[in-house]
Amino acid sequence: MIEERSLILSVKAGSEKAYHTLYDMWVSRLYRFVYQYLKSEDATDDVVQETFCRIWTNREKLDPDSSFKAYLFTIAYHFLIKELRRQLNNASMEEFVEYQYIKVSGDDADKEIDFDQFCQALQKAKSNLSPRQREIFELNKEHNLSVAQIAEQLSIKEQVVRNQLSAALKIIRTELQQYSFILLLFLNNF
């Protein structure tokens, strides 16, 4: 879209007016996307606001020749995952998840799975990882350590951590694809 491309160029150059126009073009779509997962107006407002703040603070990195929609929704996705993980770590959310059933999408839509079943399946999936992959996966996804922190703790290079984590995530996603919604809470791109 030519109009959007010129807006992005203007935002990149520091135009607040162009930024507000771009915001107005996308805010309602982004809000709907985030709200469908969070089901909370306050949390959705926070994620949308953080996303657009990130766009503004990183405006120099905007690429007018790339999809702005993909860039915007990728940033929102990361904030959304962060918020879901924060909620999951909340004691009341843990209780809610434990006692609620979550519908599985796809062919098994009529089958209900509880959180304990997911945890058992996750443990089984982790048993398919090498010892190093499992250690890195657990440090990153369960103990919330960054790639840099894991590399320092294990005295290995960050690229080794990234490679091992990527391989582990591929195995975990394959093994747990029937739990796709719950898996969203635990796995995010790094």
Look at residue 29 in the predicted model and tell me its pLDDT.
Answer: 92
The distance from CA 38 to its chain's CA centroid, rounded to whole angstroms, is 12
Indicate the DSSP class of residue 113: E
Cα–Cα distance, 31 to 44 (Å, whole number) = 7
DSSP letter string over 54-91? Answer: HHHHTGGG--TTS-HHHHHHHHHHHHHHHHHHHHHTSH
Look at residue 8 in the predicted model and tell me its pLDDT.
Answer: 94
Look at residue 185 in the predicted model and tell me its pLDDT.
Answer: 52
Look at residue 107 in the predicted model and tell me its pLDDT.
Answer: 42
Maximum pairwise Cα distance, the chain: 53
What is the residue whose two structure tokens read 């951590």?
161
User: Would you give per-residue pLDDT tens digits along the chain (190 residues)?
Assistant: 558 899 999 999 999 999 999 999 999 999 998 888 778 888 899 999 999 999 999 999 999 988 888 889 889 888 888 887 777 665 444 444 443 434 333 444 434 445 556 667 778 888 999 999 999 988 887 777 889 999 999 999 999 999 999 898 888 888 877 666 555 555 543 3
Looking at the chain, which runs of residues are DSSP E strands? 102-103, 112-113
Cα–Cα distance, 30 to 70 (Å, whole number) = 11
Helices (H), 89-157: 91-99, 115-126, 131-137, 147-154
Q: Which domains does the chain have, with CATH numbers?
A: 2-88 (1.10.1740.10), 94-186 (1.10.10.10)
